[in-house]
Amino acid sequence: MKPDHKSKLHIHLLFWILYYMLEVYLDFYWSRYQFPDFKWQLRLQNSLLLELGYLMVKIPLAYSLLYVYERVHLNKALKYLLSILIFILAVLAHRFFTHYVIYSHIYGITETLDGKQPSGFINGLVAFNSFMDLIFMVGLVFGVEITRQKNVLKEQISQLKSEKLDQELTMLKAQINPHFLFNTLNNIYGMALKKADETPDVILQLSKIMRYNIYEAAEKNISIEKDLENIKDFIQIQRIRHHHLNVRFQENIDNPSQEISPLILIQFVENAFKHGVSESLGDAFIIIDIELKNGILSYYIENSKEERPHQHSTKIGLRNIRRQLELLYPKHSLNVEDKTDRYIVQLKIDFHDTSSL
């Protein structure tokens, strides 16, 4: 049985139990005045029996109308006509049960109007009472079913939105990984042209990073400890190439197992190396400070900057990372300062306000 059908069965079963209890209570309360000579035990027994009998009329009526409403493919006029016909048959069945079973066999008396004259099987006043009893029940059933369907629709819409966000995040990561690989291979290419002795070490380090990108980064979340380890591997590659570079990396993490979406933090580091470090800068520097305290992440990156930035540099990394932050951490704060001689990024994430992780 599908989860939706299971949920529908449970809701409808609960509805009929509660409805039956309500009707028994109302009939039991009403019988105090209609049959004052009956003992309460007898009145309760009668109420339980007659309301159980009424359910034999009401349940088929309710689901027949629901079937017409949901499944029968007719124009509105024919649907209304068929619903009215079903309802008239239910009123007749209700009257038959009331007149020939309840009063004759359960109460052992003749049904009367106001206690004065006998009531026939078809009578305007008593037929109206049957109509009102059934219409009240139908209204409740349709109210419960429409509310249930709306809730199911909301859940489906929410699930579709979640799936759409997951697909978008997957595409963003797919854009980021080749972007990162392209930049690192450019570095290795430059070292290979110079026949640098460190080239094999850099390739080995790159292999470790790509293993992380392929396997670890495929997860929705990862521990911040593993994510920082990947950043350190990346910095190590860059240090081998840029001997003159002054890199300061400081971390203060009070909860290494705190989960974070992978490949977010490293993008800022990658941009710092790509756009802020050049062989022509003898005093190039990068400062990276990251702190996680009581569920709040503070991330600070500052790097030196060329006066003439690369003409072919793209902003795909920053655009993607902004979008990921919007999707995963709606209450984050990101401040980017593009100064003449340096570039500063300040990111703050409150993991307490994050429901998607």
Task: Give the domains, in start order, of the chain with CATH numbers.
Answer: 3-122 (no CATH), 165-353 (3.30.565.10)
Q: What is residue 212's predicted lDDT score, i.e. its pLDDT? A: 81
Q: Is the dihedral of CA 189, 190, 195, 198 positive or negative?
A: negative
- Mean pLDDT of the residues in the chain: 80
Q: Is the dihedral of CA 231, 219, 315, 299 positive or negative?
A: negative
**Do residues 301 and 335 lie in contact, with contact meaning Cβ atoms separated by under 8 Å?**
no
Q: Map tokens 């038959």 to a residue.
A: 96
In this structure, what is the dihedral angle of CA atoms 6, 10, 12, 18, given to the nearest 10 degrees?
180
> Tens digits of per-residue pLDDT, 213-258?
777 777 788 899 999 998 998 888 778 767 777 889 999 999 999 9
Q: How far is the C-alpha of 126 from the C-alpha of 211, rounded, in Å?
A: 80
Strand partners, 287: 248, 302
> Tens digits of per-residue pLDDT, 175-211?
555 655 676 788 788 778 887 777 888 788 888 887 8
Helical (H) or strand (E) element with 95:
helix 76-96
Structure pTM?
Answer: 0.53
Q: How far is the C-alpha of 53 from the C-alpha of 144, rounded, in Å?
A: 22
Running DSSP on this structure, what letter comes out for residue 132? H
What's the average model confidence in pLDDT over 328-352?
89
Higher pLDDT, 12 or 177: 12
In this structure, what is the dihedral angle of CA atoms 216, 218, 222, 224, given to the nearest 10 degrees?
70
Which residue from 309, 313, 301 is spatially nearest to 341, judged by alpha carbons?
309
> Tens digits of per-residue pLDDT, 137-160?
999 998 888 888 888 778 777 766
